[in-house]
Amino acid sequence: MDLLNTLVDKGLRRELPTREEALAVLATSDDDLLDVVAAAGKVRRHWFGRRVKLNYLVNLKSGLCPEDCSYCSQRLGSDTGILKYTWLKPDEASQAAAAGLAGGAKRVCLVASGRGPTDRDVDRVAGTIKAIKEQNEGVEVCACLGLLSDGQAERLREAGADAYNHNLNTSEGTYADITTTHTYADRVDTVNKAHAAGLSACSGLIAGMGESDEDLVDVVFSLRALDPDSVPVNFLIPVEGTPLAKEWNLTPQRCLRILAMVRFVCPDVEVRIAGGREVHLRTMQPLALNLANSIFLGDYLTTEGQAGKADLEMIADAGFEVEGTGEVTLPEHRATAAAGGCGSHESAGCGSHEDAGCGSVCGSHESSAANEPRTDLVAVRRRGAGTDLAPNA
């Protein structure tokens, strides 16, 4: 297929595809799916080999959020039955992180619900970062605390944070349909603050919220323009009690096409399969490792994930290997730029793009929208952080 040959060539050169090419990936048929995966897999292996980076989530503060994000079980007025607790103490968070690190994770992601941290919250997280790093040599720590105020990113970096996560989630044009208590511009501003402070920026999306192909391409092109080092791809977990609980729009094939499109648009960036892979990729998860080079180990913030042991077996059986703590995740050109402060990457990486317009291939991919709800695969987390039970790692 000429399209795939073109995209592989561009991916190996870090050249941005056109919007029409990105849309065409999403519009490919199931008959062509393995060809799409194989093509994107060439790009993935060129930049990341067969390594899989493991990340581990620690939910520092669960629920009780004043924001109204439609996809989130921790949202304002949520009636989802999730765990609700205030800030974990540094030693509690460190103990939770230790389970993931023992399971092979090299990055710990410290997440807290809420609009954004107060200065006192930043102090709390700084203490947690110190506790984790004192006990685990070489560990990476990523903070995810919501919208940042001036100076907070710098304080987090001084405290030892390596990265900051703040997802765009969806396209600018549809953002107000998902969240009304803050804006798309607010999110972009926080990613830019992380860049400016020298933190490795992590920003991604959520697929499956009823968006069109054009929306998906819009948000991924916007992410490339923001130049994050890692792009988490979440697949909506429709939790009962949230406004999007009835949105079951994804098939395993659709998820693979989305991951392939992200890989072609951001070829040399850490693409992480985040929430929802067990629910929507299901038995196709090993195939997705040919597209993404990073996953979360174990459970998520408020829902359960696949058993950590099963994750490790899946990686080995698929012919991949867990990335060690002594290995550098990013290709040399990006790792070198990141060492000098994020945001210094050249535009040939995940730089700015031209608005090529939609062209004739626009339109949502209707044939992939009929997916049977798998509510049996959605379980509220009842173990790990915030409980007396051992975590899943």
Q: Which residues make up each annotated binding site?
A: 65, 69, 72, 109, 142, 202, 272
| Known catalytic membership, residue 362 | no
350 counts as catalytic: no
CA distances to 3, 109, 381 from 58, rounded to whole Å, are: 41, 6, 12
Residue 304 amino acid letter:
E
Single out the catalytic residue among 14, 19, 44, 65: 65
Q: Is 69 a catalytic residue?
A: yes
Q: Which of 14, 19, 75, 142 is catalytic?
A: 142
List, in order, residues 6 or more apart from 385 with CB less than 8 Å away: 58, 59, 60, 62, 88, 92, 93, 96, 391
Q: Judge contact between 252 and 37, C-beta under 8 A.
A: no
Helix (H) or strand (E) holding 8: helix 2-13
Please give the biggest Cα pair distance in the chain. Answer: 56
Q: What are the tokens at 231?
A: 């792009």
133, two tokens: 């790093």
- 199 burial type by CB count under 10 A (0-12 exposed, 13-18 middle, 19+ buried): buried
What is the rounded distance in angstroms from the CA atom of residue 287 to the CA atom of residue 289?
5
- Answer positive or negative: Cα dihedral of 151, 138, 101, 167: positive
- Pick the catalytic residue: 44, 124, 202, 263? 202
- Rounded to whole angstroms, the Cα distance separating 127 from 321 reads 33
| Closest C-alpha among 262, 184, 185, 274 to residue 235 | 274
Q: Which of 107, 109, 255, 350 is catalytic?
A: 109
To the query of whether residue 45 is one of the catalytic residues in this protein, the response is no
Q: Kindly name the residue from 69, 144, 255, 350 that is annotated as catalytic.
A: 69
Active site residue 202: yes
Placement of tokens 């994050």 in the chain:
228
Residue listed under structure tokens 């951001």: 266
Q: How far apart are CA 184 and CA 179, in angstroms?
A: 9
Strand partners, 111: 59, 144
Active site residue 272: yes
Token pair 């490339």 is at which residue? Answer: 224
Within 10 angstroms of residue 283's Cβ, the number of other Cβ atoms is 7
CB 137 within 8 A of CB 96: no
- From the candidates 272, 277, 334, 381, which is the catalytic residue? 272
Binding residues for [4Fe-4S] cluster: 65, 69, 72
Known binding residues for [2Fe-2S] cluster? 109, 142, 202, 272
Return d(Cα 67, Cα 205) in angstroms, integer.
18
Active-site residues: which are they?
65, 69, 72, 109, 142, 202, 272
